[in-house]
Amino acid sequence: MSRTATQRAVKKNPVNPVTVNAAQEDLSGRDSLIEQYLPYATSIANKVAQTLSNDADIEEIICNARLGLLEAAKRFDPKFNVDFKTFAYYRIKGAIYDGLRKTGWIPRSLYSKIKFEQAANEYLQTMADKSATTKLSADEEIGELYDTVNSLASIYIISIDASEETMEIEDKKANDIEHKAEFQKVKEYMRQAIEELPEKERKLIKMYYFQNKTLEEAGQKLGLSKSWTSRLHARALGLLFKKISLIQLKSQHQHRAAVHPQ
């Protein structure tokens, strides 16, 4: 390009020094976080490796942990009002588990726990993003907290149900609650509620929990961006809990009618 052409280009798209400085500060802060928490990522990787067989590739696990740390540093924003160590923990673990999932190193006994951690992290991240951009009243904050607790409970139930179906887990050390008739009923309600979801939400839940897809992979299948997939996941969880409550209420009415016919 000639000097004259270059000058024209600069005049047309002048470089904003403030923007450049801000970008440089962001990169510097990101590099600082990565350097500071690299030992932390390695420590998480080593702990995960201890739960696996000796044949697992520890170097690959550590590499995935570092990728998770890099992703956390890129996405972290102080406005989330969350400590970076807490924020990074789930990103690092998620990256490790995604790597293990692709190579088939996840023990069956850990599947439901891993799926719960990943799904809960995705949901909480979406809610943190939402809170950062939306100012809520005290009543709305209480309502959102209630929805969050219910959504996490839904994730827990689906994760266990999915692990039992897709991995055929028989965990003899599982808590008694998993074998109680009441808990089995809740899982039945959950399955019914999933089938009653709108088409996109239903497909997302099935792909993510029952077909061993990552949230990003499921979103790509549905033609959605990563951010929209996360929002759809959060919406699906909210709908699920409401539908479960309605199904449970209907079941209780039917039971009472059968016991005390008019």
Kindly report, residue by residue over 124-175, the tens digit of the pLDDT.
777 777 766 666 666 666 666 767 777 787 788 887 777 665 444 444 444 5
DSSP conformational letter for 207: I
- To the nearest whole percent, how much of the chain has pLDDT over 90? 18
Indicate whether 42 pLDDT > 90.
yes
> pLDDT tier at 6 (50, 70, 90 boundaries)?
very low
CA torsion sign for 125, 165, 98, 171 is: positive
> pLDDT tier at 202 (50, 70, 90 boundaries)?
very high
Query: 159, 74, 184, 163: which is closest to 125 by C-alpha?
Result: 74
Q: Measured between alpha carbons, how far is 141 from 147 in angstroms, rounded to an integer? A: 10
- Specify the pLDDT at position 166: 46
Tokens at 94, concatenated: 């998620």
* Domain edges within the chain: 16-106, 110-262
Indicate whether 98 pLDDT > 70.
yes
**What average pLDDT does this structure show over 189-212?**
89
Fold classification of 110-262 (topology level): Butyryl-CoA Dehydrogenase, subunit A; domain 3 (1.20.140)
Q: Measured between alpha carbons, how far is 224 from 24 in angstroms, rounded to an integer? A: 31
- Specify the pLDDT at position 229: 92
**What average pLDDT does this structure show over 106-129?**
73
**Mean pLDDT score across all residues of the chain:** 75
Domain 16-106 in CATH 3.40.50.620: no
Find the range with the poorest average confidence among 48-57, 137-146, 245-254. Answer: 137-146
Indicate whether 80 pLDDT > 90.
no
- Specify the pLDDT at position 10: 42
Q: At a CB cut-off of 8 Å and minimum separation 6, what does 91 contact? A: 68, 69, 71, 72, 75, 121
Residue found by looking up tokens 């149900």 in the block = 161
